[in-house]
Structure 1
Amino acid sequence: MRINVEDTLFCLVDVQERLFPHMTNKEELEKNLVTLAQGLKVLEVPFIVNEQYKKGIGETIPSLREFVDVDPHFEKTTFSCCKNETTMDAIKAANKKIVIVAGIETHVCVLQTCIDLLEANLQPVLVTDCVTSRKQKDTDMAIKRLVQAGVIPTTYESLLFELTVNAKNPVFKQISNLVK
């Protein structure tokens, strides 16, 4: 299935200040998430930002905040973003059929969000190099489970070029420079 920019929404899951320091591969994850966010902004993909229990876990990390501050933010206590009624209403209101998902933790909030998106007849696309957990084994198992369930796996670079489609796209040079 082709991932088209006009059919796509981005759902950022719980990349928050007090949780992020405990993640595996956090330096690479942060770099990848920033590149993904920048690229999706260039491509004008709409964003939905989710934050789990902000009082306890904090805000979205500063390096991402500058790219997502203007986007709708939803605080939740449910693990799945979709179990939060206001988030799900926003996802439905966007009227997109593909939801790009990235964030933490892969085996809890990301996994449950993707499963619920499938159940809502939406197609989740998991950016595998933009998700992680505290333990690598949890990330690996969650990705396997999600792929078996029907989630489309990809990487941020592959996704950004797929959404760009053509080297003649006016944003191609910007996307190309981001992934270098």
Structure 2
Amino acid sequence: MRMRAEHSTLLIIDIQEKLFPAIADSAALAAHAGWLLQVAQRIGVPVLLTEQYSKGLGPTIAALRTAVDEECIIEKLHFSAVSEGQLLAHVAPERSQFVVAGSEAHVCVLQTVLDLLALGHAVFVVEEAVASRHASDKALALARMQHAGAHIVSREMVAFEWLEKAGNELFRAISREFIR
């Protein structure tokens, strides 16, 4: 199964100010999630951000938050972004694929991915764009998500599958700006 731009939504889960410093390699997480967000926006893939109890964990980090409209940010209390019903209300029916980034991999990302899979969605977890406080938790979460049916992918896999072909201006622009 390939990722298709016209069927995808980029979901960035809970990369929030107060938890961010405790995340292993948080700078890389922010850079990779930001890269995906920019590529998605250039290609026309909708982007949604979630915030877990923002009163306690703060808002999404500014580098991501300022790149999207306020209506693209979903507040939640459940660890799974699916549980409260708001996530899928923001997604068009033809958008059956979710490309997922965020933190923490073993909590909110994992539970969201498991719920999306249970509902029959195709889920692609971007390995370098998910993180936890501890690397071992991330590794266990990735293994569990993959075992449950999620596809573990790289950010370049996402970009090239969304682009589908070379030889057009969009490919040249993405290649120039993002593929190094």
TM range (shorter): over 0.9
Show the counterpart of 1:134. 133
Show the counterpart of 2:169. 170
Show the counterpart of 1:99. 98
Distance 1:143 1:3 in 2: 18
Q: Which consecutive unaligned segments of at least 5 residues does structure 1 have?
A: none
Show the counterpart of 1:33. 33
% identity of equivalent residues: 35
Show the counterpart of 1:21. 21
Q: Does 1:56 align with 2:47?
A: no
Output the aligned Cα RMSD: 1.3
8 Å CA contact 2:12–2:33 kept in 1: the answer is no
Distance 1:151 1:46 in 2: 20
Alignment of 1:67-78 (within 5 A): 67-78=67-78
Q: Does 1:153 align with 2:140?
A: no
Show the counterpart of 2:2. 2
Deviates more, 1:94-103 or 1:133-142: 94-103
Query: Cα distance 1:71–1:167, how it changes in 2: closer, same or farther (>3 A)?
Result: farther
Match of 2:79, SS state, is coil
Over 3 Å off, 4+ runs:
none
8 Å CA contact 1:128–1:155 kept in 2: the answer is yes
Q: Once the two structures are superposed, what CA deviation does each residue of 1:65-111 show, in whole Å capped at 9, x if it has no partner?
A: 222235521100000000022223223x4531101111000000000
Name the TM-score, length of structure 1 as normaliser: 0.94
Q: Does 1:12 align with 2:36?
A: no
Q: Which amino acid aligns with 2:53?
A: Y
Distance 1:27 1:73 in 2: 21
Match of 2:127, SS state, is strand
Distance 1:98 1:149 in 2: 15
Distance 1:138 1:160 in 2: 27
Show the counterpart of 2:111. 112
Q: Which consecutive unaligned segments of at least 5 residues does structure 2 have?
A: none
Distance 2:81 2:161 in 1: 25
Match of 2:161, SS state, is helix
| Count of equivalent residues | 179
Name the TM-score, length of structure 2 as normaliser: 0.94
Q: Which amino acid aligns with 2:122?
A: Q
Distance 2:54 2:132 in 1: 18
